[in-house]
């Protein structure tokens, strides 16, 4: 499990700061304004990215019982994707971090088992401070 740094987008721009996705998953501190940028440089493998919901049920006075699922999305070979922001009450663990895991889309294998050697999945955490 890796802990990802968080990068602030500023008016003058921001260079990519992609990190290798950890085979056991990654985590990052979440204030509710962060989002992730995932890049898949693999030539043929598609990956599924999962963000774990920590609080999956709650009772709302107007809507009754509500369910929050894990957020999952696929990143095709040669593609990139963005996701977030992540509501703190739903996604923060007890350390105020969001948990992210990765698997191969076709067979569910962990990214460390990709036969081509080093995996090509990269991730960065970004936020935009509107103040």
DSSP string, 79-104: -EEEE----HHHH--TTSEEEEEEEE
| Residue 42 pLDDT | 87
Q: Is 21:114 a contact under the CB 8 Å cutoff?
A: no
Evaluated on CA atoms 41, 81, 127, 88, the torsion sign reads negative
Q: Residue 22 CB: number of other CB atoms within 10 A?
A: 20
pLDDT of residue 110: 76
| Whether the predicted pLDDT of 47 surpasses 90 | yes
pLDDT digits (tens, 9 = 90+) for 75-84: 999 999 999 9
Picking from 40-44, 47-51, 55-59, 62-66, which range would have the lowest pLDDT averaged per residue?
A: 40-44
> E-strand spans in 10-116?
19-20, 26-29, 34-40, 47-51, 57-60, 64-67, 71-75, 80-83, 97-104
Model pTM?
0.88
- The residue whose two tokens read 């969001």 is 98
Enclosing domain of residue 40: 2-128
Q: Tokens representing 16?
A: 């990519």
Residue 16 — pLDDT band, cuts 50, 70, 90? confident
Domains of the chain: total: 1
pLDDT, mean of residues 38-50: 92
């Amino acid at each position: 499990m890796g802990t990802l740094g968080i990068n602030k987008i500023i008016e003058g721009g921001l260079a990519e700061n992609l990190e290798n996705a950890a085979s056991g998953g990654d985590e990052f501190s979440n204030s509710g304004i962060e989002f992730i940028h995932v890049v898949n440089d693999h030539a043929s493998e598609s990956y599924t990215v999962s963000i774990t919901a920590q609080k999956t049920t709650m009772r709302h006075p107007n809507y009754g019982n509500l369910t929050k699922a894990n957020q999952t999305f696929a990143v095709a070979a040669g593609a990139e994707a963005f996701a977030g922001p992540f509501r703190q009450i739903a996604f923060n663990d007890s350390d105020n971090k969001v948990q992210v895991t990765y698997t191969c889309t076709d067979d569910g294998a962990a990214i460390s088992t990709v036969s081509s050697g080093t995996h090509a999945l990269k991730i960065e955490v970004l936020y935009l401070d509107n103040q």
